[in-house]
């Protein structure tokens, strides 16, 4: 007796929540890589950490954009 439309909303919400968790994880990964480093080590690690963060955030934005048309 379950309405398929009703099942879709929680699934979409769950997908959005998972993307938010993944976004937070990406930022924590960046912070873990850069925090507490010496100046020399920070200069070595930060460009990699920023590129990795940017890549992960770009992928999250793409997945989030694919979810939006389903809501329309």
The residues spanned by each domain of the chain are 4-71
In the predicted structure, residue 1 carries a pLDDT above the cut 70: no
**Section 13-19 average pLDDT:** 95
Q: How much is the pLDDT for 17? A: 96
Mean residue pLDDT across the chain: 89
Read off the tokens for 22: 């993944």
Mean pLDDT of all residues in 33-51: 98
* 3-state secondary structure string across the chain: CCCHHHHHHHHHHHHHHHHHHHHHHHHHHHHHHHCCCCHHHHHHHHHHHHHHHHHHHHHHHHHHHHHHHHHC
């Amino acid at each position: 007796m379950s309405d398929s439309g009703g099942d879709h909303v929680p699934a979409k919400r769950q997908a959005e929540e998972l993307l938010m968790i993944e976004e937070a994880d990406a930022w924590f990964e960046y912070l873990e890589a850069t925090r507490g480093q010496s100046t020399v080590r920070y200069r070595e690690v930060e460009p990699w950490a920023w590129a990795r963060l940017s890549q992960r955030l770009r992928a999250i934005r793409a997945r989030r954009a694919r979810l939006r048309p389903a809501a329309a």
